[in-house]
């Protein structure tokens, strides 16, 4: 319950400062007029407009009254007015906010539009009307301020109660037959109390500043009464001769503004729950040792385009560091298409992003080797990466609805930042048109001038693919490139990708949860589980029957042509482990039918099995013992 969060407030310097300031203001408001009230009002003709001295610490005003005493005395009036205006706004706001519930939809819409217009009116304008009606004065100003703030609270209440009305616990409470009154006090009130409290605190500060400006203009407190704004207004004409009279009330307004502003922010922070990853990020990344070099590491690898050895990726979270990629090694040759498969949370996407250096900058990416065409990627700074690698590595992202910039035309997004800048932009456009055409997008020329929201999801996905192809990259990293597409388009897109790699020898690393997609596209498959590679094998070997029980299970969950439609697909029981979970042995042990004691204590490492496969399993299966779907 949110209530306890407020109670749990610890003492950070900000909280302490906010509390001290607000308490001091309240105390002053209570005792100020008692102690300094007389001194503040009594004119002293013998000491008119005197500069600060021992007797008058902040000087005297044009009637000889002590400025400090006046400022301290004015605390009460300034504060009471601000609190009063806010209280008025809360009450009126609650009424306005509750109205639509009673009056139905039509009224609701009219009211919403009235609130919008109303909200645009600054307090000064409202104050003009109330002043005409009631004459200038403190009450008039408070009413104006309250009326100005009303729509803010009205809308807040409306939003909050609307959210609660349909919430689970209120529905539950209703089903349990809890009385309306009890529903309100036990469920509704505690849940809207916190945000309302934050708003109130912030608005008291705002009201204080606004009311002081009204008094300053002569619309608020009238002589002989005074608040801070009025003091400033009175001091203004004499600002050249006795500037000190402005200092104290000015400072008081600022301090009060800061006090309530801070207090509001502190409350809002507590209400939001202050767990931010920021704090965790300050603890150093755990320096866990990288995995043992994979088989074949350090071998003659000049032929490889991309070599990754023992990649480890960690991210800071509220609770510490999480490790989505624990130990990944892989290698790509020019023209080769390699698939990375695994369930969500296996670390496959993070691996792909880490290779392209597109993971969050707070994370830690380490590896024994991260080599692209003879360049050590890990050693490059961001600008070196831009210069030396540039768009030789291109990325196709998975979600077409979020990875295209909604504010830029398709054409811009396709043609920008190409290596031959300065070259003919028309050339780039022609190429874009060709690519879109090849990906079977209708009217490609028109599309270039359109914004992403004018295209369908499938078209947008193909635009993302075209974007990666524009640069003629040597390596295309594709993260679930076809998930958003229907089967026919998917097939076509995969074929285009395949052709492209075939034609100009670029390599592709394709990440997918769908092992079926990968078998039709790739020559080799890397299977990931819980941040590690558990098996790497050629597609042929895969179709012969993989050695790792997890790969088998993935294959068995594939629909095939002879799958009966009614029969549910085999899904792997259980869930993959959470990235922060420490795992001693094989991560798959909890779900593996072949698991034995050794699996739970010792981590199996990748070892060469057959000619074109390596597997990390203590009890690997032998090929051809089972075929997909007929297993178990």
Residues within the interface to ligand SF4 (CB under 6 A):
548-550, 586, 588-589, 592, 594-595, 599, 604, 617-619
Using alpha carbons, select from 511, 582, 555 the residue that is nearest to residue 346: 511
The listed partner (ligand SF4, another protein, none) that binds 619, CB under 5 to 8 Å by sort, is ligand SF4
Alpha helix positions (H), 273-424: 277-281, 348-355, 382-384, 410-415
Residue 339 pairs in a beta bridge with: 510, 525
Nearest distance in Å: CB 458, another protein: 14
Nearest distance in Å: CB 342, ligand SF4: 14
Nearest distance in Å: CB 367, another protein: 20
Contact 173, 183 (CB under 8 A): yes
The listed partner (another protein, ligand SF4, none) that binds 116, CB under 5 to 8 Å by sort, is another protein
The vertex-236 CA angle with 234 and 240, nearest 5°, equals 130
Of 142 and 542, the one with the shorter C-beta distance to another protein is 142
The listed partner (ligand SF4, another protein, none) that binds 489, CB under 5 to 8 Å by sort, is none
Of 394 and 493, the one with the shorter C-beta distance to another protein is 394
By CB neighbour count within 10 A (0-12 exposed, 13-18 middle, 19+ buried), where does 364 fall? Answer: middle
Distance between CA 464 and CA 481 in Å, rounded? Answer: 9
Distance between CA 450 and CA 187 in Å, rounded? Answer: 49
The listed partner (ligand SF4, another protein, none) that binds 97, CB under 5 to 8 Å by sort, is none
Of 127 and 554, the one with the shorter C-beta distance to another protein is 127
Helices 244-272 and 67-103 pack at an angle, to 10 degrees, of: 40
Nearest distance in Å: CB 465, ligand SF4: 35
The listed partner (another protein, ligand SF4, none) that binds 467, CB under 5 to 8 Å by sort, is another protein
Distance between CA 345 and CA 579 in Å, rounded? Answer: 8
Of 37 and 250, the one with the shorter C-beta distance to another protein is 250
Nearest distance in Å: CB 556, another protein: 33
Of 377 and 515, the one with the shorter C-beta distance to ligand SF4 is 515
Q: How far is CA 474 from CA 303, 332, 334, 367, 395, in A?
A: 14, 11, 8, 22, 11
Nearest distance in Å: CB 289, ligand SF4: 21
Tokens 């071998």 label which residue? 299
The listed partner (another protein, ligand SF4, none) that binds 599, CB under 5 to 8 Å by sort, is ligand SF4
Assign 3-class secondary structure to 259-278.
HHHHHHHHHHHHHHCCCCHH
Of 523 and 605, the one with the shorter C-beta distance to ligand SF4 is 605
The listed partner (another protein, ligand SF4, none) that binds 618, CB under 5 to 8 Å by sort, is ligand SF4
Nearest distance in Å: CB 549, ligand SF4: 5
Of 14 and 601, the one with the shorter C-beta distance to another protein is 14
């Amino acid at each position: 319950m949110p209530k306890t969060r407020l109670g749990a407030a610890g003492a950070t310097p900000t909280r302490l400062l906010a509390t001290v300031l607000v308490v001091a203001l309240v105390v002053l408001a209570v005792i100020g007029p008692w102690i300094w009230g007389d001194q503040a009002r009594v004119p002293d003709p013998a000491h008119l407009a005197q500069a600060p001295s021992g007797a008058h610490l902040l000087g005297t005003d044009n009637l000889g009254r002590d400025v400090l005493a006046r400022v301290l005395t004015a605390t009460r009036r300034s504060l009471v007015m601000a609190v009063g205006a806010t209280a008025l706004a809360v009450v009126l706001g609650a009424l306005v906010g509750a109205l639509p519930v009673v009056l139905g939809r039509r009224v609701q819409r009219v009211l919403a539009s009235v609130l919008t217009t109303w909200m645009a009116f600054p307090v000064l304008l409202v104050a003009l009307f109330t002043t005409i009606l009631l004459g200038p004065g403190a009450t008039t100003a408070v009413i104006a301020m309250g009326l100005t703030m009303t729509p803010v609270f009205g809308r807040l209440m409306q939003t909050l109660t609307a959210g609660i009305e349909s919430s689970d616990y209120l529905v539950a409470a209703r089903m349990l037959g809890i009385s309306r009154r009890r529903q309100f006090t036990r469920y509704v009130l505690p849940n809207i109390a916190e945000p309302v409290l934050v708003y109130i605190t912030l608005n008291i500060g705002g009201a204080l500043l606004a009311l002081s400006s009204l008094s300053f203009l002569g619309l608020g407190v009238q002589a002989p009464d005074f608040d801070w704004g009025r003091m400033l207004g009175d001091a203004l004409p004499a600002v050249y001769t006795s500037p000190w009279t402005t200092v104290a009330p000015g400072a008081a307004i600022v301090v009060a503004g800061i006090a309530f502003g801070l207090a509001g922010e502190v409350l809002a922070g507590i209400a939001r729950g202050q767990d931010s990853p920021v704090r965790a990020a300050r603890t150093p990344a755990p320096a866990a040792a990288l995995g043992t070099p994979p088989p074949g590491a350090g071998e003659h690898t000049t032929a490889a385009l991309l070599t990754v050895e023992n990649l480890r990726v960690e991210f800071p979270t509220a609770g510490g560091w999480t490790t989505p990629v624990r130990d990944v090694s892989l290698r790509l040759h020019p023209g080769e298409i390699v698939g990375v498969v695994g369930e969500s949370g296996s670390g496959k996407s993070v691996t792909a992003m880490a290779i392209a250096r597109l993971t969050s900058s707070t994370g830690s990416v380490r590896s024994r080797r991260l080599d692209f065409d003879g360049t050590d990627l890990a050693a490059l700074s961001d600008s070196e990466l831009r210069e030396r690698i540039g768009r030789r590595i291109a990325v196709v992202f998975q979600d077409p609805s979020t990875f295209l910039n909604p504010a830029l035309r398709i054409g811009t997004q396709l043609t920008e930042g190409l290596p031959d800048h300065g070259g003919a932009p028309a050339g780039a456009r022609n190429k874009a048109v060709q690519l879109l055409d090849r990906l079977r997008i209708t009217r490609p020329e028109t599309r270039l001038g359109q914004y992403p929201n004018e295209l369908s999801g499938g078209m947008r996905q193909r635009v993302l693919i075209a974007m990666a192809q524009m640069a003629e990259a040597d390596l295309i990293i594709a993260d679930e490139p076809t998930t958003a597409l229907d089967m026919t388009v998917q097939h076509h897109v995969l074929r285009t990708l395949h052709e492209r790699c075939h034609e100009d020898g670029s390599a592709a690393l394709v990440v997918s949860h769908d092992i079926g997609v990968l078998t039709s596209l790739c020559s080799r498959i890397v299977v990931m589980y819980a941040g590690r590679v558990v098996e790497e094998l050629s597609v042929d070997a895969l179709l012969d029957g993989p050695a790792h029980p997890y790969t088998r299970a993935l294959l068995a969950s594939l629909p095939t042509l002879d799958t009966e439609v009614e029969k549910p697909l085999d899904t792997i029981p259980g869930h993959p482990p959470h990235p922060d979970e420490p795992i001693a042995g094989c991560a798959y042990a909890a779900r593996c039918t072949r698991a034995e004691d050794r699996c739970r204590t010792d981590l199996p490492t990748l070892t060469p099995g057959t000619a074109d496969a390596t597997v990390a399993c203590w009890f690997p299966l032998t090929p051809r013992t089972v075929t997909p779907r007929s297993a178990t």
